[in-house]
Amino acid sequence: MLHFADSLTFSGRKVVAAWAALPFPASPGSSLPDTLSAHQQDVPWKLLSSWREQKVSCCFAQSVVLRGICQEKSTSCPGQLQSPLHSCESPEQVLQQFFHTQFPGAFSTSHVLQQPCDTRPPFPQFFSPLLTRRGFLLDKAPGYSSGGVESIPVLAALQSSPVLHSLLSGLWRELRAPDVRRWSSFFAAGVEQDDFQEALEELKTLSQCYETGFGASEDEVDSD
* Same domain for 111 and 45: yes
Inside any domain, residue 26: yes
Interval 7-21: pLDDT, tens: 888 888 889 989 999
* Same domain for 184 and 145: no
Partners of residue 131 on adjacent β-strands: 137
Residues 193 and 218: their CA atoms lie apart, in Å, by: 24
* Same domain for 144 and 47: yes
Residue where a domain stops, chosen among 160, 182, 199 = 160
* Same domain for 132 and 89: yes
Between 29-43, 116-130, 147-161, 196-210, the lowest mean confidence (pLDDT) is in 29-43
Domain range holding 197?
Answer: 165-209
Residue where a domain stops, chosen among 160, 177, 193 = 160
Inside any domain, residue 180: yes
Residues contacting residue 223 through CB under 8 Å, at least 6 positions apart: none
CA 15 remoteness from chain centre: 13
* Same domain for 182 and 101: no
Inside any domain, residue 224: no
Average pLDDT for residues 75-93, to the nearest whole number? Answer: 72
pLDDT above 90 as % of the chain: 31
Dump strand ranges (E) for the chain. Answer: 17-21, 46-47, 61-67, 107-113, 117-118, 151-152, 154-160
Inform me whether the pLDDT recorded for 221 exceeds 60. no
Q: What is the arrangement of strands in the sheet containing 61-67, beginning at the earlier edge strand?
A: 46-47, 17-21, 154-160, 61-67, 107-113
Inform me whether the pLDDT recorded for 222 exceeds 50. no
pLDDT of 203 reads 94
Residues contacting residue 4 through CB under 8 Å, at least 6 positions apart: 63, 158
Between 61-75, 105-119, 160-174, the lowest mean confidence (pLDDT) is in 61-75
Give the helix ranges, DSSP H, for 50-192. Answer: 91-102, 163-176, 184-188
Triad 26, 21, 28: Cα angle to 5°: 15
* CB 69 within 8 Å of CB 36: no
Inform me whether the pLDDT recorded for 145 exceeds 80. no
* Same domain for 170 and 156: no
Inside any domain, residue 217: no
Inside any domain, residue 219: no
Query: Any idea what DSSP says for residue 182?
Result: G
pLDDT of 77 reads 45
